[in-house]
Chain A
Amino acid sequence: VQLQESGPGLVKPSETLSLTCTVSGYSISSGYFWGWLRQPPGKGLEWIGTIYHGGSTYYNPSLKSRVTISMDTSKNQFSLKVISVTAADTAVYYCATGVMTLAASPGPFNFWGQGTLVTVSS
């Protein structure tokens, strides 16, 4: 499985950040889960949210009011939107995936994209 993030590298404050993850080597409508994570410069990893292959979504409570994750099975892509961004949203954004557990919950993230830096600045 290979993943590649794409989208603008610069977003103005109060605007919307939009990123797409293009998946190759696996159909996103099959049994994996698909997630977005971010890492501010020099800081640790933060889980943003996850979408299951069936379309159910789960978000970090601290970001839930501003985040939407969706999938386009015809293009084998899934996307992230973050509204009303501020400088605190400046980070490297990763898309990642992994296998569902037998308990039908997400497992660890086995595969990652290379990441894309998004800077929020006027």
Chain B
Amino acid sequence: DIVMTQSPDSLAVSLGERATINCKSSQTILYSSSNKNYLAWYQQKPGQPPKLLIYWASTRESGVPDRFSGSGSGTDFTLTISSLQAEDVALYYCQQYYTTASGFGQGTRVEIK
């Protein structure tokens, strides 16, 4: 099984500042024949289902603000919120879909400092 580990577990960032969340997979999730990383990021607010933000490690889902960006390759990935807004307070999860047995990171809570 591929294990996904996020860091930190939580972070507090001032409004307008940058928030960075890391995600590490226990083995590569880069599919060499397509050169695509099978990595997605989700945002979950209280009482709501997760919302897809990023897929293929760096492609924003339609309608997602451009302050959200994804980067990384192989086993190390990053979700960056370039200028934190109040509505970005949420839990964030990474997910690998490289294997049919999909797996998620443990989540990172983002709060306002």
Q: Which residues of A contact B (CB under 8 A)?
A: 35, 44-47, 50, 58, 60-61, 94, 96, 101-103, 105-110, 112-115
Contact = CB atoms under 8 A, between A and B. Distances in A.
Interface stretch (B12-20, B72-80, B81-89, B103-111): B103-111
B104 A108 contact: no
B101 A108 contact: no
B1 A61 contact: yes
The secondary-structure label for the interface of chain A is loop
A103 B33 CA distance: 10
A109 B100 CA distance: 13
A112 B34 CA distance: 27
A58 B31 CA distance: 20
Interface in B13-68: 31, 33-34, 38, 40, 42, 48-52, 55, 61
Nearest to B54: A108
Which among A103, A106, A109, A110 has the greatest number of chain B C-beta atoms within 10 A? Answer: A109
A103 B97 contact: no
Contacts of A112: 49-51
Contacts of A108: 40, 52, 55, 95, 97
A45 to B, nearest CB: 5
Contacts of A47: 101-104
